[in-house]
Chains A and B, each alone.
Chain A
């Protein structure tokens, strides 16, 4: 078979056919369906094939949706900044301060283990911590720092951001750590020999060379937060909003065309954000 030309030329196509088929049926066609349905009309019981702009008009002309989009972008920006800060320093510590390869691998695995458990369970696990009678309030009361339990800890924007950071910092740590591990250590030595101090090494050598990892991590975090609805729903106790949650609520009300229009707008925004990140940083050599 190795010698027969046609078979050898066809082989790659046979090998990728299942992947192409699955992504075609379960990604491309559903997204196209969303685009089509976003132009459909609907009433309280069914969706009506049509070509109307009303769904988009409702998305784009309503103050509530604008506020929700702004809120979602705000969540994404805040969570991005925090996860980038934590993720960078954790990766930096692992890559440059842990000398032993074995310890490095062990600590890295320690950071990734929580990734293997369910997000929902990780969110629930904040309840005994943040609740009215939770550990944090008990501790603060015990210390005399407060005289009444803090109410804003659970079911608030604070809880939402905390849960996002808890869930997604790992998506920053892993790619940044990977790029840092590929930085040639002789570059750092050369910079030190040339008289650079620790800060200059960081800003002139390490950060520029870590950019691809930072970009990949940023894409993950931004996309995950922009599309989220479950974290916002669970951790805000229904008191906050996000685009994902708005879509989810429209789905619950069977307003599929409205949900689809929102989904298309969300997808466009997410793609623009990813495109912006890719314009700033070239990640191709990482792939």
Chain B
């Protein structure tokens, strides 16, 4: 067993290095975003300040941060709602075989496999040929859904694989209609996982870049704005934006996890009481 212990140490060290590799760069820009007003893009820190965060909100200096953030949050909310409703409905349907279920499943998986720039370009050209203007809330929304829906549906599959159908049978035996069975039995049971799908939809949309690039129209979403800034901003404002955007992502994750915890506690209380 001496040798197995050694292997475990090597693997453990490898894992620690991997985590450092994952987090190191992000932590660096987190620190550098508090760079003093004289400081540059790299270390050393010349003092500590919030000046780069303040400069972020001065529209003139760095493009349209407030506008792009608002659009990104709105779009992420729309994508989240659509992802939850559409993949939940489809997940319910896929519990039974129906004509075309195989084809639709493969189409959904294909939506993940097709390189993002092709989706972006295809939708862009399609709108152009139809004489329609692309906009984040129409073509951009659709483009992002081709990315979030497959994830949503795959999570739904995982949920319903573990779902005990006898609960539904019990409800039906007691005289519940399909809708009552769904809303009083199925939905409450799977609700925490549905919150997970919502979280996926929101963050995938909030961070999406390639599929939005040619479909967002004239107004940028936040990742597009960041991309624009990388070519012409050479101050720590860029890091401030990165820090703020990441903080917002984490706030959303925290909210979702909190919601799941509340749901589960409420359920535990109901079951015990």
Interface residues in chain A, defined as those with a beta carbon under 8 Å from any beta carbon in chain B:
1-2, 8, 11-16, 18-20, 22-23, 25-31, 33-34, 37, 86, 89-90, 92-94, 97, 107, 110-111, 114, 116-122, 124-129, 131, 133-135, 138, 166, 169, 198, 219, 223, 226-230, 234, 244, 247-248, 251, 256, 259-260, 263, 266-267, 270-271, 274, 287
Q: B167 contacts the other chain (Cβ, under 8 Å)?
A: no
Check if B87 sits within 8 Å of A125, measured CB to CB: no
CB proximity to A under 8 Å, residues B113-157: 113-119, 121-126, 128-129, 139, 142-143, 145-146, 149, 153-154, 157
Query: How many residue pairs bridge A and B at CB < 8 Å?
Result: 241
List chain A residues, Cβ under 8 A from B172: 2
Q: Check B14 against A263 for contact (C-beta < 8 Å).
A: no
- Expressed in whole angstroms, the Cα–Cα distance for A267 and B117 within the complex equals 10
Cβ 8 A contact of A117, one of B3, B107, B179, B249 = B249
Interface of B is mostly: helix
Contacts of A107 in B (CB 8 A): 15
A selection of 13 A-B contacts at a CB cut-off of 8 Å is A16-B89, A16-B93, A20-B104, A22-B146, A23-B111, A27-B107, A33-B125, A37-B129, A89-B11, A121-B226, A124-B230, A129-B25, A133-B42
CA distance A2 to B172 in the complex (A): 9
Q: Would you give the shortest CB distance from B176 to chain A, in whole angstroms?
A: 9
Known: A2-B172, A29-B122, A135-B28. 7 other contacts (CB 8 A): A19-B153, A26-B145, A121-B226, A122-B25, A198-B3, A223-B112, A247-B121
Q: Contacting chain A: which of B56-64, B202-210, B261-269?
A: B202-210
Residues of A within 8 A of B157 (CB): 287
Complex: A81 Cα to B267 Cα, angstroms: 45
Binding site secondary structure of chain A: helix
Given contacts A122-B25, A266-B118, whether A19 and B230 have CB atoms under 8 Å apart is no
Q: In the complex where A27-B119, A34-B125 touch, is A2 in contact with B26 (Cβ < 8 A)?
A: no
Which B-chain residue is minimally distant from A49 (CB atoms)? B129
* Cβ contacts under 8 Å, B238 to chain A: 124
Given contacts A2-B178, A19-B87, A129-B28, contact A124 B242 (CB under 8 A): yes
Could you tell me if B117 and A19 are in contact, using CB atoms closer than 8 angstroms? no
**Given contacts A117-B246, A260-B125, is CB(A223)–CB(B115) below 8 Å?**
yes
* Count of residues in B whose CB is under 8 Å from the partner chain: 88
How far apart sit A14 and B82, CA to CA, in the bound complex (Å)? Answer: 15
CA distance A251 to B85 in the complex (A): 34
Given A2-B172, A27-B146, A125-B26, the answer on whether A251 and B115 have CB atoms closer than 8 Å is no
Is B7 an interface residue when CB atoms closer than 8 A count as contact?
yes
Contact status B14-A93, CB under 8 Å: yes
Residues of A within 8 A of B129 (CB): 33, 37
C-alpha spacing A223/B15, complex, angstroms: 26
Let me know if B223 is at the binding interface, CB within 8 A: yes
Q: Is the CB of A22 within 8 A of B149?
A: yes
Could you tell me the distance between the alpha carbons of A37 and B82 in the complex, rounded to whole angstroms?
A: 30
Q: Of residues 1 to 34 in B, which have CB atoms within 8 Å of A's CB atoms?
A: 3-4, 7-8, 11-12, 14-15, 18-19, 21-26, 28-29, 32
- Is the pair A118, B153 in contact by a Cβ cutoff of 8 Å? no
Given A92-B11, A116-B203, A274-B113: A229 in contact with B210 (beta carbons within 8 A) = yes
> Contact at B28–A230, with CB atoms within 8 Å?
no
Does chain A have a CB within 8 A of B92? yes
Q: Give Cα A159–Cα B30 distance, bound, in whole angstroms.
A: 20
The one of A94, A135, A247 in contact with B43, judged by C-beta atoms closer than 8 angstroms, is A135
